[in-house]
Structure 1
């Protein structure tokens, strides 16, 4: 069949009106007949998911949703089938699980599945609760606080390296961007305990961005997250259009490189284990632990080397930049508030003087410093690591949220950048950075902690929480005791990724 210009014109004459009719009818349905039609929100958000997509793409989700909740209340329609919720009392129902039901993750997560052949979906991307629970049970023992403490020597090596680098920079007298060094530190920790590399990827040691992975975290998250909110028919074109820009091409190559590096690290360690002689010691890290599961009971529980590759790949995304964001927030707010910084330094100095702290710092000792803990919690509250919410699907039959009925199959989003500023949970001064709020009544502090979404909540809480905390609580007292920093910016503009 030969497609002539005349035939093409006739086809378009028929299809284009049908296409525009479909778009118009969908918009009319979404605006006037959809189950969410009664919920307030921006006009364009009620017509198309493109509105929410652009807030993610340009890093505005956190600030936009915060403002929307102040304008419209606890429930805001941010897409035809998306509802933003800010009331902290809804957390237990959505993430709890309250009444024994876990709400399924939304379609958003499908876009983050790396699809390594013969491997399970990683814990973050897995939407099936039964499969997620099975996977989590297999690896959970490696992530308990007691087990994670075994990896402190790995973190100690990176902290020693960080101290040395700070000493060099202070002697040079040149200004430096601490956010760069804090990010390199968190990547190197992942390199130590997941990739089996002494001193990590060498980012702190060598003062470089290994394979441009820090740059990758600036480029890809907003593209990858925003595309998941587009209709399926537009996703390929949207992503392809971004490849016109070098940043997007670099990001795509970087994503592929993360997979290759995970495969290489896992295969090297697995081969070493296969050739291991009796009495030979393997590095005591999570990579060994994950592969020990394969060796000891892999066939019985269907845990493979490919599954380990998926775990190592996923943690680059979930465990590096997020911890770096938290550390940057802590560092920024402390130096914007010199009185608070001085108070923390006095606590750290006193702990060293009376022997409660000593080098190398132990996490359990540092975690007992009340003001340090208050600073960490308050900083993660006002500067959460994720700038957008993670959607959950309302189960069959709908659900009651804080006295409001939400129809089934609607995807609800709780953005930590909005929830963490709720005055019902954190007081009338919730907009302000005040670590002392965590030092009052213990019951109030526990209730505030239940309103925090920094590490998620419930059965889906971040499995690497203790690793992140060890990185922060061990590093901060070390560098704040030994070094002084001058803040050279008046304020920062937060770009959510």
Structure 2
């Protein structure tokens, strides 16, 4: 009897061991089945919208393109091949239709910011006006900041921009043009925008121009790290991981000596002074306006950091890409100088110590205005997807059904090269289109171009400040200097991580008589 029992127990043990070995296999099979079913469901949900095959079943296509700095061109090619609404991910779409973008971003639109915007948290633990997805919270933040961005509560806004333009001119002339040395204009343009935005924001430039160097290796660090950081727009869950205590210590710290952490440290110190006991610290600059209208100390820190990172890079991109197209296009270059001469603007008039007013640039130099618009159109500074989520119940656009919760991204280069809006030569840099079009066509082009600054409740708060800088800087550089690209076959190194990372734009300059 005991022998029989022992044999039975042995069989039971063998069966138990067999089952124990099967459990991991079963779990793997269940996980594989779940992944197959969920992938099929995602695929079927948007199967009626064309796009690259692999993008329909995985985000790897999107992630790879993002980390390589080519997403802005890849999605443009997708819309060129598959149409104005195309699929670029399991739940991700992109559009080159300006009217759909306007429809999504209208004030009364039911579309919301998607999880893409978690990647706009430059501190993973804190939101800013760019990353905030809740409409009510976003509106409250914008209201507190609107007067500061409008310039109405910033003393001497235009003179602040003027003195930073003069600092740029002085650097170029004394250190490079008169000595006959080539220079990387990509860096100098960003030195200018970084100094200008810090001067406008809290009354003191960082000093990039004065020192003629990448202070704290800030630009180099951003160029190195931003493509990886932007993976959070593809995989938003990374933000939660980075916010955890385990990874938080690896993030930039305000105690760092270089990079974004060093800039954060400077900003944190300046903001702390404004919230101190002495009311005299409240200056009439942009930060002072934010504080007066109710921003908390933590909110002020986040917003100023966002201004510096997003505001300086975008305006620098507009300056660099437009200058490149001006100096490599003899017809545009010649017509600019003809207009400047007709307006009495030369190397010495206005005097070298003066900068053209924003009003005069807008009203007396129509061709310059056309060049600025065409520069923003042909190379929109913000080329991230900035996706919006389709509202509850879904939406239908021109016969295409957009399911609830699908993310629809902004294909910036496709929108700005839309042939219906800009004509068959939309791929060409041709400022004349802004001067020779009918009133109706001009209205359509203006509406489309405005989307470069977003639209409605999400329109860029810094739009007017950026345009004021552009209205001045091209006039002041071009009336003083002739610029030549050193290597026309490779004029500038460009990559994109939502915003453009441009470098090695080597020029040689000559002083105009």
Instruction: Answer 1 or 2: which has greater strand percent.
Output: 2
Number of residue pairs aligned between Structure 1 and Structure 2: 463
The answer to whether the aligner puts 1:378 opposite 2:374 as a matched pair is: yes
Q: In the TM superposition, what are the counterparts of 1:390-401 in structure 2 within 5 Å?
A: 390-401=386-397
Q: What is the distance in 1 between the residues matched to 2:443 and 2:485?
A: 33
Query: How many Å apart are 1:81 and its aligned residue?
Result: 0.6
Q: Is the 8 A contact 2:383 2:413 kept in 1?
A: yes
Q: Is the 8 A contact 2:114 2:133 kept in 1?
A: yes
Query: How many Å apart are 1:489 and its aligned residue?
Result: 2.5
The answer to whether the aligner puts 1:223 opposite 2:228 as a matched pair is: yes
The answer to whether the aligner puts 1:343 opposite 2:335 as a matched pair is: yes
Q: In the TM superposition, what are the counterparts of 1:269-308 in structure 2 within 5 Å?
A: 269-271=274-276, 274=278, 276=280, 283-293=283-293, 298=294, 303-308=295-300
Q: What is the distance in 1 between the residues matched to 2:135 and 2:257?
A: 29
Q: Deviations over 1:441-490 (max 9, x none)?
A: 33322211211222111221100111111221111111110111111222
Counterpart of 1:450 in structure 2 is 447
Counterpart of 2:307 in structure 1 is 315
1:30 pairs with one of 42, 47, 71: 42
Distance 1:86 1:467, change over 3 A: same
Q: What is the distance in 1 between the residues matched to 2:236 and 2:458?
A: 26
The answer to whether the aligner puts 1:155 opposite 2:161 as a matched pair is: yes
Counterpart of 1:19 in structure 2 is 31
Q: What is the distance in 1 between the residues matched to 2:267 and 2:216?
A: 13
- Aligned-pair Cα RMSD in Å: 3.1
1:417 pairs with one of 413, 416, 421: 413
Q: Is the 8 A contact 2:389 2:406 kept in 1?
A: yes
SS class of match (1:124): coil
Q: In the TM superposition, what are the counterparts of 1:135-174 in structure 2 within 5 Å?
A: 135-144=141-150, 146=152, 150-168=156-174, 169-174=176-181
Scaled by the length of structure 2, what TM-score is found? 0.83
SS class of match (2:113): coil
- Which structure 2 residue ranges, 5 or more long, are not aligned? 1-17, 498-513
Distance 1:282 1:398, change over 3 A: closer
Counterpart of 1:213 in structure 2 is 218
Q: What is the distance in 2 between the residues matched to 1:266 and 1:65?
A: 39
Counterpart of 1:94 in structure 2 is 104
Distance 1:94 1:183, change over 3 A: same
Q: Is the 8 A contact 2:147 2:289 kept in 1?
A: no
Q: What is the distance in 2 between the residues matched to 1:55 and 1:282?
A: 45
Q: Is the 8 A contact 2:314 2:382 kept in 1?
A: yes
Which is further off, 101-110 or 423-432? 101-110
Counterpart of 1:61 in structure 2 is 71
Query: How many Å apart are 1:74 and its aligned residue?
Result: 1.2
Counterpart of 1:3 in structure 2 is none
1:332 pairs with one of 314, 324, 330: 324
Q: What is the distance in 2 between the residues matched to 1:265 and 1:136?
A: 22
The answer to whether the aligner puts 1:106 opposite 2:103 as a matched pair is: no
Q: What is the distance in 1 between the residues matched to 2:259 and 2:21?
A: 42
Q: What is the distance in 1 between the residues matched to 2:203 and 2:42?
A: 51
- Which structure 1 residue ranges, 5 or more long, are not aligned? 1-5
Distance 1:412 1:253, change over 3 A: farther
Query: How many Å apart are 1:346 and its aligned residue?
Result: 2.1
Scaled by the length of structure 1, what TM-score is found? 0.85
Query: How many Å apart are 1:337 and its aligned residue?
Result: 0.2
SS class of match (1:454): helix
Q: What is the distance in 1 between the residues matched to 2:180 and 2:212?
A: 16
Query: How many Å apart are 1:493 and its aligned residue?
Result: 5.5
Runs of 4+ in structure 1 over 6 Å off = 6-11, 354-358
